[in-house]
Each structure stands twice: as C-alpha cells, then as structure tokens.
Structure 1
Amino acid sequence: MAILTDLKARNIKPDSIALPHGGVTGLALHPSNKKGSGKWVLRFVSPDTGKRRNAGLGSYPEISIAEAAKTAMQMREKIEKGIDPLEEKIRSKAKLATPTFKAAAEALHTELLPGWKNEKHGQQWINTLTEYAFPLIGNLPLDKILPRHIADTLRPIWLEKAETASRLKQRLHAVMAWGWAHEYCQSNPVTVVNHLLPQQPGKSVRTKHHPAMPWKDIPAFIASHLNGAERYDVTRPMLEFLILTAARSGEVRGMKWSEVDWNNAIWTVPAERMKAKLIHRVPLSLRAIEILKKQQEIHEDLVFPSPRDQVELSDMAMTSFLRRVKAHSDTPGRVATAHGFRSSFRDWCSESGHSRDLAERSLAHQVENKVEAAYHRTDLLEQRRPLMQAWTDFLGRSESSSLI
C-alpha cells in the first residue's frame, strides 16, 4: 500500500472515508468537518484484553504525516512487547496525580466515617493522624513514603505512649493500604516498620487500670460528698446512681426515661449504648428508684440532663466533680475515676462472698470462654436483684421507698 502523501491528505473531505497511512498498520487519517483537516487514529488489539482499541494521535495538519507515523511506530513497538499504550498512559497520569499522605488520609476518613457508629471514634481517628503524622509525612506523596518515614513518625511516642503509638500505626497502615489498593504505591511500608523500632513493653505491663476508690471507703464518701448539698447539683445524684448500679459513665449520662420500667424496677440499656452492643438489664434497688423519682419533671427525655443546656452531660462531668472533692483512690497520687467504681463493686463482690457469675453479669462483662458463653442464655436478672440491693445496703443507702 502506497504511503499517504500531503497532497492527498490536504484534499480529504468531511464525507471522505478514512485514509490509511500505508506504512504503519492500523494508522489512518479520519476526516473532520473541514476540508483538508482530520484526526490521526491508531487501531490496535490490546495485548491486555484482546479487544480492539482506538488511540487518538492528534489532528492534521497540526500533526504531520511523519510525526503521526513516528508516534504510531513507537506505540506498535510497545504493543509487540505486550504493553497496551493507552493503559500505560492512564497509569502514567495516575502516577503524576499520586495524592499526598494527608489527602489520602482525609479521603479514607471520609469513606470510613459512615460505617462508624461512634462519632467520637471518627474524630479521634483523624485527630491522631493530624497531631502525629501530618507534620512529618502529610505532604509526601504515597509512593515516596518509605519505612524510615513511618518509623520517624512513630518513634517520638513509641515507648512513652505505647497505646497511642499502636493506634497511630494501625491508622498509618490503613492509609497506606488504601494507597496500595488504588495503585498509588507498590507496597505498604508500615508492614516492616517494627524492624526499625525498639521492642515495646508488653500490653500487660503498660495497661493502666482506672484508679478506683477502695470499696470499704465508699459509704463514707457518699455520706460526705453526695448528700446534704445546699443546692441541687445533677452530678451528685448521677454519680450515686452510677455507683449503685455499677454502670459505665456513658450509660448513665445518656440514660432516658423510656429505658425505665417502673413497675418491675428495671433499667434496660439498649444495645447501641452498650460497649458490647448487647442489651443490658439492670435491677434497680430501692435507693436507685428513689433517685430516679427525684429526677422526674426535670427533662422529658434525659434522666440526668445538663442544667444549663438540657442535653447529655459530657464525660468530664463526673471526672471534674471527683477531682474537685479530691476523691482518693487505690493508686497513689491519682484521683478515683467514675469507671473505677465498677472495680470497687467487683472487689466488694469477691471479698463479700458473692457469686462471680452474678458479679460479672451485673457489670455486663462478656463471657470470654466461647463454650461457656454458648450455654449462658439468661442474664439472671432476678438472681442479681438481691445482689444489687445488698450493695445498696452496704453503701448505707437502704432508705425505704415504694415502687411506682
């Protein structure tokens, strides 16, 4: 086939058929809507998919016959080597557009956020990266991040804040795995970073328990700090209710009237507000019922609302109170925490000879042994009722009350 000439190309008309180049297989000049102009197209079979593809090489006469032929020949050479030139071009553009670590982290955070039920966790996830990772590697493209960069990010907190470092490492791994999945990087540098850092202390060594008030001291604490206040303070009845029920802070702070069964003296915490995401029923002692009665008419929905805004109190409400009254704990130099009263209750159960099973169920702890858990089909609510009343009696809170 004769090679296409400029004379023939300059005379191509809008209604003409495509003019083959003649020297490069698949290369042809396709007419445009103006006489003497057209578009260069190389037709080839993709070595990746086996399908026919069209590659545009520019317009004529801007791209001459010789230039089009040269480009087409280079593409043909790649095709013979098993490379699809169009896919190569796409990958090349993608590589140029490789996001920075910060951009990738924000994109992943946006994708993951709808799946997190806890908004606080979602905020903590990105805050950890913002504080520790972005200042060092935030502006680095994903494909430029090496294991040493990850190690440098983790090293300042690796030993001193081991738990935080562990969470940070998990989030770094998630971002880099996202980049690998999108072909922005060829590997995940987080997988080998441990070889560049010293060994952390074991989890059992670094675990810090919540400072707890010794159970023998709680009755005096309640008498001194939770009763007899001159003016109403929602924190006092809320903290006493927490101690009486051995519940978690968030469960009590978010407690709603719809969860209270007055007739049967039961507080049912819905699954979405429980740590284990399972419904938990709490038998209410006479004193617990008395506290609830005094809280009525304050808010139509929340049992312990904030006085000013009438919304759920923050997790600092009881913490601030305990610090203010300097509630002592079993940890030298540290104030007792609201969560620590659960430990106090558990110690009282053990030292007072109460059933381990009932104590664990009162705390809504899950049975770790899978075989044992399979045979536990009841929460032993009625068996737990005397236990919670005995706890109330020990605390000196056995005033008589009548149920509604």
Structure 2
Amino acid sequence: MTYAAQVTSGVNSGVRMKNKLTSLNVRNAKPGRHFDGGGLFLIKTKSGGNWIWRYSYLKRVREMGLGPFDAVSLSAARAARDGWAAVLATGKDPISERERQREAEQAALNKEAPTFSDIAEIVFESHKASLRGDGDRGKWFSPLRVHVIPKLGQHRISEIHQTDIADTLRPIWKTKHPTANKAWQRTRFIIQQAEYMGYDCKPFVADAARVMLGKVDHKTENVTATPWQAIPALYRSIAGVSSPKLCLRWMMLTCVRSAGCLGARFDEIEGSVWTVPADRIKGMRNAVQDFRVPLCDEALRIAEVARSVDDSFLFPSYRKRGGHITEAALRKELAALNEAGRPHGFRTSFRTWAEDTDQPWDVAETVLGHQIKGRVERAYARSDLLDRRRIVMDRWAAHVTASSADVIELRR
C-alpha cells in the first residue's frame, strides 16, 4: 500500500496499516463489510459483492466503487485504490476525475464510432431543410423514432449488421408494410450518409436486411372516395357553420388537399382567388410554388360566413386558441354522418366527375395541382390555366350544390 493511500484515505491517517484480507478471505467472506486497510473494504452480499474505497476530500468522506469482487481481484482493487489515492494527493477529487475521464472517453468514442441515433439526428437536421415543414408535417423521422431507434439507436453505426436491421423491422414487415418500408428506406439513407461522412459502414447491410425480410404481397388501398353522384346529397347533409362543416364544404368546392384547406387564412384570398402558400402544397421544398385557386360564388359565401367567427383562419379551432382545426375533426364529422368517404377522397370525386362529364383533361389535372407536362415544357408553358379552371370549377360547384340558391344553412 502506498503512503498516499494511507495519508489520504481518511481512515487511520498517518498510521501504516497492515493489509487484513487475503484472496482466500475474499472468496470465503460472509455477507457484511470486510476491511483491507487504507480505506479499501469489501461489501459482501449473498449474491455478490463490491469493492469500495473510502477517502476524505475537502473534509468530506466519500466512497468510490472499484468494481464487483468477482470481476476485480484483491490485488487489482488495491492497485486501483493506490492509483486514485495518487490522484487525490494532487488535490483532485477521484470520483469527479473518473467521471471526467469517462466523459472524455465517451466523446472520443462517439466521434470515432457514433451511434445510429446520433447519426440519425445529424442526418435529419441536415436533410430537413429540403422537407416540407422541416420534416414535421410529413413526419419523415417518425418511422425511425417509433420503430428503429428504440432497438438500434444505441448500436454503433459501424457495428450494425443486416440481422440487426432485419430483426428490428420483422415484427411490422408484413402487418404494417408501408410503414416498415419507410423505416427501411430511412435507415438505409442514414447509413449511406454516414458512409459519406467517412464512418466505417456500408448501405449494403440495409440491402441485405431487405433480402432477409423477404417480399411482401402488399396491395395498396386507395383512399375511400364518395361517388361524385352522391356529392350533392352529402354537401346538403353537412348543415351548420362549425369549422369542420364549413371546411368540408370548402374542400369539396376547391378540390385542394386537406393540408392546404385546414390552414386557410383570409389574407390568402384576394377577390375571387385564393392563393395557397407553397408551404402547404404537397411536394419537396423548393419544388413547389404558390397555387392559385379560383373561388366559386358558393365558396365566397362560405368565406363570408367564416369571417363572422374569426378574422385570421377560415376554420379556427375552438380548442386551440390561435390555431386551426385538424383533419381528425373532419373525419369525426363524416363519421357522424356514417359517410365512408374520406376528406382526401373529394379530389377523386371531382376527378371522376371530370372524366365522366368530358371536362378537359389538362384543366382537370391542373385543378388538382398535378404536373401535366415535362420539365422542359413547363419551363416554357408557365400558365396555371386559371381562367379555364374557373369554368370547370364553376360547373363542378353547380353539381356539388345541385344548383340550389341557398345551400349554406346558418344553424349550428
């Protein structure tokens, strides 16, 4: 035992103590505390035991764990005590110094071989600038957060094997295949980006995992849509001036996706044209632009009714002050009417009506915000067909409202 251990241990200071334990003592020790000297002792239990070093720092007694007795021998425990006693002799607190060393070692390890979770966060932060709503609206990160990170998050990116990915996704590969496929795509993308960063990993492990998971005979189900012939009856049945009711009618008349309609604001309407901002239009950021929507007389009446409730959002939330309603409110409204069709399905209702009634194909596609020309053609033909769309949408509105003179029922 070193002199430093004797002097700084806080136990029998200044007195050279004889070691009291032997390897045989340690092996046969009964439950309790067994002192070795210099502040070192063994706490033995029925199921195991731990080495403890007691010392004094700034007049405060502290106890430092040196490891389990079945993994750390008596001689190793004494050597550890002597080493930390030397640190104490320099004026540093051994426990704080050990924590600092561990943090430094962990930081070095993370820099050399970060975890999947670390890389996923870095990749998302750098990638989300190209995603709509910084990736939140499309929930780009959600499949990873829910299905991958809980199992793979703490794995070193360089140590992930194809079996790890396969085992992670196998529980949902067949039952929730669209979600599982997104999780796989994101996982592969993150590993690929990590390789570009210079880490020792290969996207091959994700490809191999997909082979291990096998093919899935998944049939994509289309969103349930109300037949266009039933739209007038549905429109009349949505009576009242609550935000969900008005929003459903607005969606039927404008054929704009729910993300665009839910957050509609009065300052986006100028005359009889509603301009949906690019950040509420489907598509990659910088790949979409503001979309003008010609409003029929019925839509303008809806806006007038909505303005009597709020002066910012057309369809404000009654629960979230200063916000707008959610799609869940729309679905709840349709469920109350036993309507199987979904809000997004109104776009299908319109498109089928346009096809069955021989409306111009290019105009009908533009109403839905679809691109109808190649990249080069679009560079020259830049018209959004607003005037032609107004004609078609007025025809659609006449069908939706069944040419009724008063279809807004002002009752709650």
Instruction: Output the TM-score relative to the length of structure 1.
Output: 0.66
Is the 8 Å Cα contact of residues 95 and 184 (structure 1) preserved in structure 2? no
Give the equivalent residue in structure 2 for 1:267: 274
Partner residue, 1:342: 347
Q: Does the 8 Å CA contact 1:235/1:321 hold for their aligned counterparts?
A: yes
Partner of 1:315: 327
Give the aligned partner of residue 363 of structure 1: 368
Whether 1:386 aligns to 2:391 is yes
Instruction: Measure the CA separation in 1 of the matches of 2:382 and 2:123.
Output: 40
The aligned residue for residue 296 of structure 2 is 285
Structure 1 residue 114: deviation in Å? Answer: 4.8
Which consecutive residues of structure 1, in runs of 5 or more, have no partner in the other structure?
A: 1-89, 328-334
Distance 1:218 1:102, change over 3 A: same
Q: Kindly tell me: are residues 388 and 178 of structure 1, through their superposed partners in 2, closer, same or farther at Cα, counting changes over 3 Å?
A: closer
1: distance between equivalents of 2:392 and 2:332?
A: 30
In the TM superposition, 1:133-212 aligns within 5 A as 133-188=148-203, 189-201=205-217, 206-212=219-225
Contact map agreement 2:243 2:325 (CA 8 A) in 1:
no
Instruction: Name the residue aligned to 1:13.
Output: none
Match of 1:217 in 2: 230
Residues 110-154 of structure 1: CA deviation (Å, up to 9, x unaligned): 444455441453783333223212333222222221111112222
Structure 1 position 380, deviation (Å) = 1.6
In the TM superposition, what is the alpha-carbon distance from 1:198 to its structure 2 partner?
A: 1.2
**Cα distance in 2, alignment partners of residues 130 and 364 from structure 1:** 31
Which whole-Å deviations, capped at 9, do the CAs of 1:321-348 have from their partners, x for residues lacking one?
1122211xxxxxxx21100000001111
Measure, in 1, the Cα distance between the counterparts of 2:138 and 2:275: 29
Q: 2 CA distance for matches of 1:289 and 1:95?
A: 58
Paired letter, 2:281:
M
Deviation at 1:294, TM superposition (A): 1.2
User: 8 Å contact 1:253–1:304 — kept in the other structure?
Assistant: yes
Give the TM-score normalised by the residue count of structure 2.
0.65
Shift of 1:176: 1.9
What is the number of equivalent residue pairs in this alignment?
A: 295
Q: Can you list the C-alpha shifts for 1:23-59, whole angstroms capped at 9, x where unaligned?
A: xxxxxxxxxxxxxxxxxxxxxxxxxxxxxxxxxxxxx
**Residue 186 of structure 1: CA displacement?**
4.0
Q: Report if the CA contact (8 A) 1:287-1:399 is conserved.
A: no
Contact 1:147 1:193 in 2 (8 A): yes
Look up the SS of the partner of 2:371 in the other structure.
Answer: coil
User: Counterpart amino acid of 1:238?
Assistant: C
Q: How many Å separate the matches in 2 of 1:147 and 1:159?
A: 18
Q: Are 2:134 and 1:129 equivalent residues in the alignment?
A: no
Two-structure CA RMSD over aligned residues (Å): 2.7
Q: What is the alpha-carbon distance in structure 1 between the residues aligned to residue 182 and residue 312 of structure 2?
A: 36
Alignment of 1:207-246 (within 5 A): 207-223=220-236, 225-227=237-239, 229=240, 232-246=241-255
Give yes or no for contact 2:124–2:141 (8 Å, CA) kept in 1: yes
In 2 relative to 1, CA 304–165 (structure 1 residues): closer, same or farther, beyond 3 Å? same
Corresponding residue SS for 2:155: coil
What do the CA deviations read for 1:364-400 (whole angstroms, capped 9, x no partner)? 1112544654553212211221211111111235455
What residue identity is the alignment partner of 1:207?
Answer: T
Q: Is the 8 A contact 2:232 2:399 kept in 1?
A: yes
Q: In 1, distance between residues paired with 2:140 and 2:386?
A: 37
What percentage of residue pairs aligned between the two structures are identical?
A: 29
Alignment of 1:24-173 (within 5 A): 94=109, 98-119=113-134, 121=136, 124-173=139-188
Determine if contact 2:252/2:400 at 8 Å carries over to the other structure: no
Whether the aligned pair in 2 keeps the contact of 1:113 and 1:122 (CA below 8 Å) is no
Report the more deviating stretch, 142-151 or 339-348.
142-151
User: CA offsets, 1:6-31, max 9 Å, x none?
Assistant: xxxxxxxxxxxxxxxxxxxxxxxxxx
Rounded Cα–Cα distance in structure 2 between residues aligned with 1:322 and 1:213: 11
Call closer, same or farther: CA 1:178–1:358 in 2, change over 3 Å.
closer
The CA distance in 2 between the partners of 1:243 and 1:180, in whole Å, is 47
Partner of 2:307: 296
Q: Is the 8 A contact 1:280 1:364 kept in 2?
A: yes
Aligned to 1:51: none
- 2:116/2:154 contact within 8 Å kept: yes
Describe the shift of the 1:274–1:127 C-alpha distance in structure 2 as closer, same or farther (beyond 3 A). closer
Structure 1: distance between partners of 2:254 and 2:111:
59
Which residue in the other structure is 1:36 paired with? none
